[in-house]
Amino acid sequence: MEEFLSRPDDEKWFTIWLIAIAIGLVMGYFLRQESIKRKPIHGGMVAQLFHYIAATMICSIIPWAIIGLLGGLHLAWLFPVGITFPLSTLALLMVYGIFESQADVVEVAPVRELD
């Protein structure tokens, strides 16, 4: 740990970024599954891909901040990436929304039971 802390910030930044993304990939999978349970994705494979990447990005924000602070990164490194992750997530969700809005979703009328 001491060797890691003695590295320059630009080397620590990339390592911490990779760790945060790895955590985000795992957490993003579960977030995506919960989201699909609530509202299924109808926009095809591309919409699912953008949805998963956005879930990964949003789940990477807190690990990035915690690991960055514990790793000794200065706020000059933490703040820009902390702002970039949510903005990237917003952009990805907008692309996801474009594909989702163009999907042909057929609403099925509720079935009434016969007496």
Contact 82, 13 (CB under 8 A): no
How many Cα neighbours within 13 Å face the side chain of 16?
Answer: 28
CA distances from 112 to 24, 35, 54, 105, 115 (A): 44, 28, 39, 21, 9
What pLDDT digit, counting tens, does each position of 18-63 carry?
Answer: 999 999 999 999 999 999 999 888 888 888 999 999 999 999 999 9
Domain ranges of the chain: 17-101
pTM of the model: 0.77
